[in-house]
Each structure stands twice: as C-alpha cells, then as structure tokens.
Amino acid sequence: MTVLRPVRAGNAFEETVERLLQAIKLGVVGPGEKLPPERELAVQLGISRVTLREAIRALQEADYLDVRRGRYGGAFVTYVPPQPGTGDLRRVVADMGTADLADALTFRMAVECGAAAVLAAGPLTGDQRDLLRRRLADVNEAGAEDYRRLDTAFHLSVAELSGSSLLATACADARLRVSDLLNAIPMLQVNLDHSATQHEAIVAAILAGDPEAARRAVSEHLEGTAALLRGFLS
C-alpha cells in the first residue's frame, strides 16, 4: 500500500549526498560556483554540520566539489555535465529500469503540465513575466555546455512561479529523475530548434493567461522529449 511505505529513504548522510548531487546536477549551483557556507547550508537542509561535512567530503572524493578553506573559501562545484552521446543512454536506462523510466516520464508530464496550467490561470506580476522571459532568453542564448542547466532553470521557474511549493518540489523531483537521461541524449540542432519553438509556445500561452494552451504546449514539449528517448532506445 502506498501509505505504508518506508518513512525515510536512507540515513541522513545518504539523503544529504543525494540532495547536494541534485543541486549540482540540476545546475542550481553551476560549475565554478560554491555552495553556501556549511553552517548556513546545514540549517537549510535541517541537518547537523557534522553530517553535512561527511556528505561534502564524499562529493569531494568523487570529484564533484573542490573544498577550500579560509575566507572566500567554500565548496566549489567542479562537476561539468558530461558531453552527451547516445552510447551511455542504454546503460542509464538499464540502471533505472524501464518501469521506473515510464513512471518518471509520466510523473513529470503530470506535474509540469499542472504547474504550467496553474501559472497561466493566475494573475502575473510584471516581475514574474520578466523573469519568465529572461529564463526563456537564457536558454535560447545558451551554448552547448550551459544548455541543460538553463533548460532546467527555465522549467523550474515555471514550477516555482506557480506559487505552489508542493508543485515546485514535485517538478524538481521529476526533473531530477530524468536528468541523467537527458544528459545522455545527444543535442542535435533540429531538436534544439524544436525545443526553442515549444518553449516560446509555453511562455506565450502562460503570458496570454490561457491554461489549456499552456498545458498543451508543455505536454507537446515533454512528449517530444519522451519520443526522442524512445527513438534512441529502439
């Protein structure tokens, strides 16, 4: 039964590593940037500094972080997303299992469509409209190294602007579950152009305040990604 599932996913250390890995892989803290100071971060994550430091050390040893002491020191992100190639995709899928893959794609479709619809339905301030346009522009101007990160930022912005933190969390979770997959598929210019058009459509629908159109636009966009995945797998 769904409700009598494990109370916690693992011990505090493991969960913390997972979280930091999320922040890094999703590009919340990009390459060269640093995590917040330990004391601060520990509070944000609701754990003790000791546990946080263990997690940081693990990521350091796995070459995700470079930790420097002293003032202006900190834990700097060294991880750069791998240049994608189709070769890895099957391995990534094998790692997560096809059932989980379908689950993740379905979940993502549901929550992101929902977030876009909610956002389009509500009134938007000028700042919010600007942010949305800014993120859209960022993706369009992005080079190959930054593309995934800024694409993620765009999608998460839609979720966060919806005003529902539960939805935003769900979208972040969903995105994370597919991020390894996305990183493994090659970026072809055709697909990038296609995505750009779809991103435009999403923003247009949201700014126009048309929930149905927004939902449809997101749906088509994500369906495109899913189709791409299936294409590389078959």
Partner DNA sequence: ATTGATTGGGCTAGTGTCAGACCATTGATG
Partner DNA sequence: CATCAATGGTCTGACACTAGCCCAATCAAT
Instruction: Give the Cα separation of 41 and 47 in Å (integer).
Output: 9
199: its two tokens: 């991103």
Cα–Cα separations (whole angstroms), residue 92 to 85, 103, 112, 131: 12, 15, 23, 33
76 binds its own copies (CB under 8 A): no
> Of all helices (H) and strands (E), which one includes residue 75?
strand 74-77
Report whether 202 contacts 214 (CB < 8 A): yes
Cβ 71 to its own copies shortest distance, Å: 23
Instruction: Pick the stretch among 9-17, 109-117, 168-176, 182-190 that binds DNA (CB under 7 A).
Output: 9-17
Contact residue for DNA among 2, 4, 9, 46 (CB under 7 A): 46
Neighbours of 200 (CB within 10 A): 13
11 binds DNA (CB under 7 A): yes
65 binds DNA (CB under 7 A): no
Cβ 23 to DNA shortest distance, Å: 14
Cβ 31 to DNA shortest distance, Å: 17
110 binds its own copies (CB under 8 A): yes
Which residues lie closer than 8 Å to 23 by C-beta, 6 or more apart? Answer: 29, 35
Instruction: Give the Cα separation of 85 and 185 in Å (integer).
Output: 6
216 binds DNA (CB under 7 A): no
Say if residue 78 is exposed, middle or buried (CB neighbours under 10 Å; 0-12, 13-18, 19+).
Answer: middle
71 binds DNA (CB under 7 A): yes
Instruction: Pick the stretch among 73-81, 94-102, 120-128, 162-170 that binds DNA (CB under 7 A).
Output: 73-81
Residue 223 β-bridge partners? none
Instruction: Give the Cα separation of 198 and 217 in Å (integer).
Output: 7
Q: By CB under 8 A, how many residues form the interface with its own copies?
A: 50
114 binds its own copies (CB under 8 A): yes
- AA letter at 217: A
190: its two tokens: 């055709």
Contact residue for its own copies among 83, 86, 98, 169 (CB under 8 A): 169
User: Could you tell which of DNA, its own copies, none binds residue 104, using a CB distance below 5 to 8 A set by kind?
Assistant: its own copies
Which residues contribute to the site for its own copies (CB under 8 A)?
1-8, 12, 15-16, 19, 22-23, 26, 28, 36, 41, 44-47, 102-104, 106-107, 109-111, 113-115, 117-118, 156, 159-160, 162-170, 172, 174, 177
Residue numbers at the binding site for DNA (CB under 7 A): 11-13, 34-35, 37-39, 42, 46-51, 53, 56-57, 67-75
